[in-house]
Amino acid sequence: MRNINHRIVIIMLLLSGLSCAEKEKQEKWSIRMADAVMQRYVSLAFYNGRTAAGWSYDVALLGTAIDKLGSVNPAYSNYMKTFIDLLVDENGHIERYDMEAFNIDLIRPANNLLELYKKTGDEKYRKALGQFITQMENHPKTKSGGYWHKKRYPWQMWLDGIYMASPFLARYAAEFDQPQWFDVVAHQVIHIYEKTRDPQTGLLYHAWDESREQPWSHPDTGQSPHFWSRAMGWYLMALVDILDYFPEVHHQREELIRILNNTCEALLNVRDPESGVWYQVLDMAGKEGNYPEASGSAMYVYAFAKGAKNGYLPEKYRDIAEEAFDDIVETFVITDEDGLPSIINICGSCGLGGNPYRDGSYEYYINERIVKNDSKGVAPFILAALELNK
């Protein structure tokens, strides 16, 4: 009897061990990466070397991604909320937000306010929303009606800017019954598509200068010289998020879906056949200095997966997203010294103009700083994992 009991104990221990191993194997990437963020940083205010909370699009986006796990555990939603509450007082005032800068990047965190108002009904979030609508009512535009990226970048539209403002405006329009913003959003999306699209490849250049005054702009088209991976990622994420709120009967909804399909198809043509991911400069994989880039790759997977799930894209994109997500994990995800997962090969930041001047050359894009665990890569990775339930 003792031997039988001993064997039973051994079998139970083995089964227990297998169960734990299987559990670890099956744990979702969204949870693993969100947990890594929260274990490393008590608050998003200190994410990746920050020393204080700031009203910035990138950390707010990471908060959005983690908040989507709130149904698994309220701690994920609280992590986002406590960060936003560091910045927004009871009167809806945001000390670190400057409307007069007319910086379109500063609109993106207002999505977090919309989400918090929906969840809590706290009036401070509703009060805070008004200033962002006021900014967009007065935001400078090109002569053709496109929002400048920032006041200090006059006459310029950047692909990045579509994600920074348009999904917020579309959701605001839907939730506060302000349908005039749908027309504004459609114009921004379609206008920049027409101005930045390359007819040969279907890819979109990073930016467009209506004035042709910038040294980086083409004298005939006003387009910047290259296809930057994350710029197109921002644009695609904007499209699938906007469509969540766009009325079925809106006369330009089908045009937005057509643009989404055309742009996704163009991206499939420049996916690296060996790694299964996308390069920093999209059409120059294999050229010296170019590298597989994580944030753009994760953004595409998010857009493919969500677009297929919601019927905006053909079903094949679900399979492509599944496969490409696995390629992202293999190419970019490592186990770091602290035993937690990290994401490598994330471009820290790319822009145009400014001081020192960013000329938009190939050399510029490949030599910008590469940052491990940059929030602009971690957040889309979590969002893509959530869409795929990986």
Indicate which CATH number applies to the domain containing 263: 1.50.10.10
Q: How far apart are CA 294 and CA 373, in angstroms?
A: 10
pLDDT of residue 70 exceeding 70, the answer is yes
Q: Is the pLDDT of residue 303 over 50?
A: yes
Same domain (yes/no): 6, 101: no
Same domain, 93 and 16: no
Average pLDDT over residues 340-350: 98
Q: Are residues 277 and 287 in the same domain?
A: yes
Q: Is the pLDDT of residue 19 over 70?
A: no
* Residue carrying structure tokens 């989404």: 260
Confidence of residue 22 (pLDDT cuts 50, 70, 90): very low
**Do 322 and 292 fall into the same domain?**
yes
pLDDT of amino acid 377? 98
What value does the mean pLDDT take over residues 264-269?
A: 98
Considering the domain architecture, whether residues 54 and 128 belong to the same structural domain is answered as yes
What is the pLDDT of the chain when averaged over all its residues? 94
Same domain, 6 and 73: no
> Which pLDDT band holds residue 26 (cuts at 50, 70, 90)?
low
- pLDDT band at residue 18 using 50, 70 and 90 as cut-offs: very low
106 close to 165: Cβ distance less than 8 angstroms: no
Q: Is pLDDT at 283 greater than 60 in this prediction?
A: yes
**How many domains in the chain?**
2
Q: Are residues 37 and 6 in the same domain?
A: no
More confident position, 125 or 15: 125
Is residue 161 located within the same domain as residue 265? yes
Assess contact for 34 and 69: CB atoms under 8 A.
yes
The distance of Cα 136 from the centroid of its chain, to the nearest Å, equals 21
**252, burial (CB in 10 Å: exposed 0-12, middle 13-18, buried 19+):** middle
Show the domain range for 26: 1-30
Contact 166, 190 (CB under 8 A): no
For residues 364 and 286, state if they share a domain.
Answer: yes
Handedness of CA 39, 40, 46, 47 (dihedral sign): negative
- The yes-or-no verdict on residue 59 having pLDDT over 80 is yes
Q: Could you report the per-residue pLDDT of 190-236, keeping only the tens digit for each?
A: 999 999 999 999 999 999 999 999 999 999 999 999 999 999 999 99
- 208 plus 75 within the same structural domain: yes
Q: According to the model, what pLDDT value does residue 9 have?
A: 39
> What pLDDT score does 390 carry?
84
Each residue's pLDDT tens digit, 307-318: 999 999 999 999
Cα distance between the two ends of the chain: 45
Same domain assignment for residues 242 and 339: yes
**What mean pLDDT do residues 31-59 have?**
96
Q: Are residues 107 and 247 in the same domain?
A: yes
338 in active site: no
> Strands, E, within the chain: which ranges?
156-158, 207-209, 333-335, 341-343
Catalytic residue, candidates 67, 160, 209, 327:
160
